[in-house]
């Protein structure tokens, strides 16, 4: 498939990608666009000119109205946009609405309804278990029976590039009798994928694994910034709270599950134990099954040095299993729900998706290309997450990037 | 203060209460009303007739636009409504917009932004610790240093009267080697107050205890329905998820913090240990301090039998401390945020706010007035929460009721 635009066939935002985002130019109203090569296509006016009234949702300042339309509408829209960009007769409809990507300001692509974070990497959960609970089995007894998840703060999900203020709070160093207040001294990242949900369900209507794709719109890169010292002191017995709730960054371009169709792979294994029937997938013609993994290549860059390449295909649980689990108790899905995969860590040391793991609890510093050493984040540090995946027709598609720079704490003592 | 309406001075929804809710009549558009006696006053058209354009927010289908206006607007609105209802010259402005309460359908009063649940009763946390972790100290080491909280599912907060479907999911009975799937056999309630937040803050702007009242709009009764068997299996290490996320019921009338001014009391004690400075309150003229408790009398009715009277004044942490804690890491507040107090349990057995505690883990059945016995909820059971508080001028004001009836599981096996 080739486009009539001047976009090389191997461009990571070629015509087989077509992610959705929300952009503005020079303070204009934010609206929905897709990225093609080094341009953003302003979809609303383009659809209006073509008489496609059904796409008025693209003039909204968020993707939520489009997310609400559901799977059938998403597929039709992708077909229509693909036709625009591959049929030279559509040139007049498209060209006036192309904006150079460097002049577009990207916004949070959707209003986050509920934000859930899972914990789906066996390597990550094992590493963290060893570090946080050294006297216990690293994996809790439930870990291989269900995708463990918990709710996070939807209101502090921010778009890539938003400054991250170092959080303050309570922590209890092992040397202290009582907790002390101050800026987090163990500020970390978690490199994840975020799955974007569309098509609401009603109370008491679980979504089976095989139907989960009806509600999976697409994927963003997600950095679940984590203050490990706050988290370690607060998280027993009800889970992480302030150690996570100060900010979660996501990439601005939502790459659709359709664009990621060729990236589906079988999960690495769920044989011992087999999950309960409601979590089991079925076979599919592509061999990946309805409980599929994703062959997404990921990299974590710290102040310009790539410090890790976590392989998403090593994740234990499928996003479709996460949907089935999240709704099996009758809980609803809403358009705009976001769920994170949990930190992506592979089996090797240079595949770990958090600095807690990379520095083994702060005991083994990481050396950056400039010769400096790091355990946790310092003020002024910048982290960039990037990822690519096999796209349709042998292409490679980009998931863009998710970037954040750490600013100093607002009130380090109180 | 007396009203010209035919409402007895001791009516629990007298002119000193004036809660806000969202109602409709015969399928009309939902809009904001206040309750006076046995009527709902349709505030939008009443304000329009009086030329109060600033109250157009009351024609919205949720309280969110009103919540966004902040403390000063809430106070002015209360003054204005009070004047309407106490000045007989305003009769013509009010009477056409009174609706009998029995003909009004009540809706969820606001779109819930983030929902947080705290754990602020020492008696409840101690009881639950003994039941869930019998081999450890009942209170975790952090409990008296910070108000423990976690995020819940905002999308499944429902208004009083919504049917509650028994959730299904994984649980692991002690007699089984592996988890089994099925309908929850230990379905419970948690009797709480829910605090409704208004006036958004920006990232990195903690709200001190003394300023928290600027963001506390009012209070609802909250039933945090809990499937104890699902919860016990899933909650280590990241906290409750499906055991809670199927439904949380709230009462339809939001009683304002202004109406509850006379209910403020000192907290029962935070001397051993003293909390860190950011959680400490300051003295106030009323003796309650900025970290105040609330003298709210609560009752839990199970199929017509009052089985418990949890005293809110026994709660360890103040709602203002919860706001300060929740934002100390720089997290924002949004209009429509809701946070629960956690189960209210007093020191006595008949003051426990959950059936887990009342039946001591299911070992001591509760006998209802009809002679039947209960440990956890059975299909068809109805639970009603009610509460009252001292109101302005020696009155007693009602917080209304929060009601739910249990329906059978949708798919008890899979």
Query: Of B205, B242, B333, which has the smallest distance from its Cβ to A328's Cβ?
Result: B242
Query: Of A148, A273, A276, which has the smallest distance from its Cβ to B238's Cβ?
Result: A148
Residues of B (351-380) whose Cβ lies below 8 Å from A: none
> Contacts from B169-177 at CB under 8 Å and sequence distance 24+?
B169/A328, B169/A329, B169/B227, B169/B230, B169/B234, B169/B242, B169/B243, B170/A142, B170/A145, B170/A146, B170/A276, B170/B230, B170/B233, B170/B234, B171/B229, B171/B230, B171/B232, B171/B233, B172/A141, B172/A142, B172/B232, B172/B233, B173/B229
Question: Nearest CA of chain B to the CA of A232: how many Å?
Answer: 10
* Cα four-point dihedral sign A130, A136, A137, A143: negative
Domain A115-407 superfamily per CATH: Fumarylacetoacetase-like, C-terminal domain (3.90.850.10)
Q: Do A148 and B234 touch (CB under 8 A)?
A: yes
Cβ atoms of residues B268 and B288 within 8 Å: no
- A27: how many CB neighbours lie within 10 A of its CB? 7
**Annotated binding residue at A119?**
yes
Q: Which two tokens stand for residue B74?
A: 């809430």
Question: Nearest CA of chain A to the CA of B116: how many Å?
Answer: 9
Based on its alpha-carbon atoms, the radius of gyration of chain B, rounded to whole angstroms, reads 21
Residue extents of the structural domains in chain B: 20-107, 115-407
Q: Does B241 touch chain A (CB under 8 A)?
A: yes
Residues of B (322-341) whose Cβ lies below 8 Å from A: 325-326, 328-334, 337
**Annotated binding residue at A228?**
no
Q: What is the pLDDT of residues A351-400, one digit of tens each?
A: 999 999 999 999 999 999 999 999 999 999 999 999 999 999 999 999 99
Q: Does A411 touch chain B (CB under 8 A)?
A: yes
Query: Of A155, A165, A238, which has the smallest distance from its Cβ to B150's Cβ?
Result: A238
Residues of B (292-311) whose Cβ lies below 8 Å from A: none
Best mutation target, A241, A249, A340, A414, to test chain B (most B CBs within 10 A)? A241
Q: Does A119 touch chain B (CB under 8 A)?
A: yes
Cβ atoms of residues A23 and A61 within 8 Å: no
- Residues of A designated catalytic: 124
- B357: how many CB neighbours lie within 10 A of its CB? 24
Q: Do B239 and A234 touch (CB under 8 A)?
A: no
User: In the predicted model, what is the mean pLDDT of chain A?
Assistant: 96
Q: Are strands B98-100 and B105-107 parallel, antiparallel or unpaired?
A: unpaired
In whole angstroms, what is the distance from residue B402 CA to residue B100 CA?
Answer: 19
CA angle, B243 as apex, B180 and A228 as ends, to 5°? Answer: 110
Which of A135-144, A241-250, B52-61, B208-217 is least confident? B52-61
In whole angstroms, what is the distance from residue A342 CA to residue A119 CA?
Answer: 4
Set of chain B residues whose Cβ sits within 8 Å of the Cβ of A325? 242
Of B97, B65, B392, nearest to B257 (Cα)? B392
What is the count of residue pairs from A and B with beta carbons less than 8 Å apart? 210
| B124 annotated active-site | yes
Name residue, tokens 């310009």.
A304
Q: Do A158 and B113 touch (CB under 8 A)?
A: no
CATH for the stretch A20-107: 2.30.30.230
Best mutation target, A204, A241, A329, to test chain B (most B CBs within 10 A)? A329
Question: Nearest CA of chain B to the CA of A381: how many Å?
Answer: 18
Of A239, A390, A221, A170, nearest to B239 (Cα)? A239
Of B361, B376, B363, nearest to B129 (Cα)? B361
Residues of A (148-207) whose Cβ lies below 8 Å from B: 148-156, 158, 162, 165, 167-170, 172, 178-181, 203-206
pLDDT attached to residue B51:
87
Set of chain B residues whose Cβ sits within 8 Å of the Cβ of A162? 203
Q: Does A136 touch chain B (CB under 8 A)?
A: no
Set of chain B residues whose Cβ sits within 8 Å of the Cβ of A145? 170, 178-179
Question: Nearest CA of chain B to the CA of A240: how many Å?
Answer: 6
Q: Do A153 and B148 touch (CB under 8 A)?
A: no
For A143, which residue in chain B has the nearest alpha carbon? B234
For B167, which residue in chain A has the nearest alpha carbon? A329
Question: Nearest CA of chain A to the CA of B345: how many Å?
Answer: 18
For A128, which residue in chain B has the nearest alpha carbon? B237
pLDDT attached to residue B409:
96
Q: Do A145 and B114 touch (CB under 8 A)?
A: no
pLDDT attached to residue B414:
44
Q: Does B145 touch chain A (CB under 8 A)?
A: yes
pLDDT attached to residue A413:
46
Contacts of B76 (CB under 8 A, 6+ apart): none
For B277, which residue in chain A has the nearest alpha carbon? A414
pLDDT attached to residue A414:
45
- The whole-number mean pLDDT for each consecutive block of 10 residues of chain B, a chain of 414 residues, reads 91 97 96 98 94 89 98 97 96 95 98 98 96 92 98 98 97 94 97 98 96 98 98 95 98 98 96 96 96 98 98 98 98 98 98 98 97 98 98 95 96 52
Contacts of A46 (CB under 8 A, 6+ apart): A84, A93, A94, A97
Q: Are strands A149-152 and B305-308 parallel, antiparallel or unpaired?
A: unpaired
In whole angstroms, what is the distance from residue A365 CA to residue A380 CA?
Answer: 18
pLDDT grade for A52, boundaries at 50, 70 and 90: confident
pLDDT attached to residue A301:
98
Q: What is the pLDDT of residues A265-324, one digit of tens each?
A: 999 999 999 999 999 999 999 999 999 999 999 999 999 999 999 999 999 999 999 999
Question: Nearest CA of chain B to the CA of A262: how many Å?
Answer: 31
**Annotated binding residue at A49?**
no
pLDDT attached to residue A333:
98
Q: Do B169 and A246 touch (CB under 8 A)?
A: no
Read off the pLDDT of each residue in A237-248 and give the average, rounded to a whole number. Answer: 97
Question: Nearest CA of chain A to the CA of B33: how many Å?
Answer: 26
Output phi, psi for A395, to 5 deg. Answer: -80, 170
Of B225, B205, B184, B192, nearest to B331 (Cα)? B205
For A200, which residue in chain B has the nearest alpha carbon? B155
Q: Do A153 and B114 touch (CB under 8 A)?
A: yes
């Amino acid at each position: 498939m080739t486009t009539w635009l001047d976009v090389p066939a191997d461009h990571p935002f070629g015509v087989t990608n077509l992610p959705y985002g929300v952009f503005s130019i020079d303070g204009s109203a934010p609206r929905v666009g897709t990225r093609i090569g080094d341009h953003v296509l302003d979809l609303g006016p383009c659809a209006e000119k073509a008489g496609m009234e059904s796409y008025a949702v693209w003039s909204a300042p968020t993707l939520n109205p489009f997310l609400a339309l559901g799977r059938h509408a998403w597929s039709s829209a992708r077909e229509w946009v693909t036709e625009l960009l591959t049929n030279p007769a559509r040139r007049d409809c498209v060209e006036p609405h192309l904006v150079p990507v460097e002049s577009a300001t990207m916004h949070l692509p959707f209003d986050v309804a509920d934000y859930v974070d899972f914990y789906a990497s066996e390597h990550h959960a094992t590493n963290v278990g060893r570090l946080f609970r050294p006297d216990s089995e690293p994996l809790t007894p439930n870990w291989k029976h269900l995708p463990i998840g918990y709710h996070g703060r939807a209101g502090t999900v921010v778009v890539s590039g938003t400054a991250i203020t170092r959080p303050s709070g309570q922590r209890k160093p092992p040397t202290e009798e009582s907790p002390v207040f101050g800026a987090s001294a163990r500020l970390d990242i978690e490199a994840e994928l975020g799955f974007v949900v569309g098509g609401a369900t009603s109370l008491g209507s679980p979504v089976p694994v095989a139907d989960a794709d009806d509600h999976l719109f697409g994927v963003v890169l997600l950095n679940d910034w984590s203050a490990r010292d706050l988290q370690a002191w607060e998280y027993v017995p009800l889970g992480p709270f302030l150690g996570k709730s100060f900010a979660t960054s996501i990439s601005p371009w939502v790459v659709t599950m359709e664009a990621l169709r060729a990236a589906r792979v079988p999960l690495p294994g769920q044989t011992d134990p087999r999950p309960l029937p409601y979590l089991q997938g079925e076979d599919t013609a592509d061999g990946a099954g309805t409980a599929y993994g994703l062959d997404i290549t990921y990299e974590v860059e710290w102040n310009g040095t790539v410090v890790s390449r976590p392989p998403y295909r090593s994740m234990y649980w499928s996003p479709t299993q996460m949907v089935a689990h999240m709704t099996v108790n009758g809980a609803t899905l809403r358009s705009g729900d976001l769920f994170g995969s949990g930190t992506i860590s592979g089996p090797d040391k240079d595949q770990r998706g958090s600095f807690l793991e990379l520095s083994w609890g702060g005991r083994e510093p990481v050396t950056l290309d400039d010769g400096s050493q790091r355990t946790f984040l310092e003020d002024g540090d910048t982290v960039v997450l990037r990822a690519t995946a096999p796209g349709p027709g042998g292409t490679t598609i980009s998931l863009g990037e998710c970037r954040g720079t750490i600013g100093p704490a607002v009130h380090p003592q109180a």
